Copies of this chain bind each other. A is one copy, B any other.
Amino acid sequence: MAQELPPEADVVVIGAGLAGLVAARDLIAAGRSVVVLEARDRVGGRLLNADLGDGKVVEVGGQWVGPTQDRALALADELGVATFPTHAQGDNLVEIDGGLRRYRGAIPKINPAVLVDIGQAQFRLDRMARSVPAEAPWRAPRAEAWDGQTMWTWIRRNTATRAARALLQLAVEAVWAAHPADVSLLHVLFYTRAAGSFDDLVGTEGGAQQDRFVGGSQELALRLAARLGDAVTLDAPVRRIEQRDDSVTVSSDRGAVSARAAIVAIPPTLCARIAYDPPMPALRDQLTQRMAQGSVIKCMAVYDAPFWRDEGLSGQATSAEGPVKVIFDNSPPDGSPGVLLGFLEGRQARELAQWTPEARRRAVVGCFERLFGPFAASPDAYLERVWAQEEYTRGCYGCLMPPGGWVSLGPALREPVGRLHWAGAETATTWNGYMDGAVRSGETAARAALAQLAE
Q: Do residues A409 and B286 form an inter-chain contact, with CB atoms below 8 A?
A: no
Docked CA distance A293–B308 (Å): 50
Docked CA distance A148–B184 (Å): 11
Interface pick from A125-133, A149-157, A226-234, A335-343 = A149-157
Q: Do residues A292 and B290 form an inter-chain contact, with CB atoms below 8 A?
A: yes
Docked CA distance A405–B402 (Å): 10
A 277-306 to B, binary, CB cutoff 8 A, 1 in contact else 0: 001011101100110110100000000000
Of B150, B269, B286, B346, the residue contacting A388 (CB under 8 A) is B286
A 366-383 to B, binary, CB cutoff 8 A, 1 in contact else 0: 000000000000000000
Contacts of A388 in B (CB 8 A): 282-283, 285-286
* CB-contacts of A174-210 with B (<8 A): 178-182
* Closest chain B residue to A180, Cβ basis: B148
Chain A contact-residue range equals: 35 or more
A389 at the interface (CB under 8 A from B): yes
Docked CA distance A285–B350 (Å): 11
Docked CA distance A320–B197 (Å): 39
Contacts of A289 in B (CB 8 A): 269, 292-293, 394-395
- Given known contacts A289-B293, A347-B408, is B181 in contact with A147 (CB within 8 Å)? yes
6 further interface pairs, Cβ-Cβ under 8 Å (given A273-B273, A286-B295, A289-B394): A148-B152, A150-B153, A152-B403, A347-B407, A347-B408, A403-B403
Interface residues of chain A, those whose CB is within 8 Å of chain B, are 147-150, 152-153, 156, 178-182, 237, 239, 269, 272-273, 275, 279, 281-283, 285-286, 289-290, 292-293, 295, 346-347, 350-351, 353-354, 386, 388-389, 391, 394-395, 402-405, 407-409
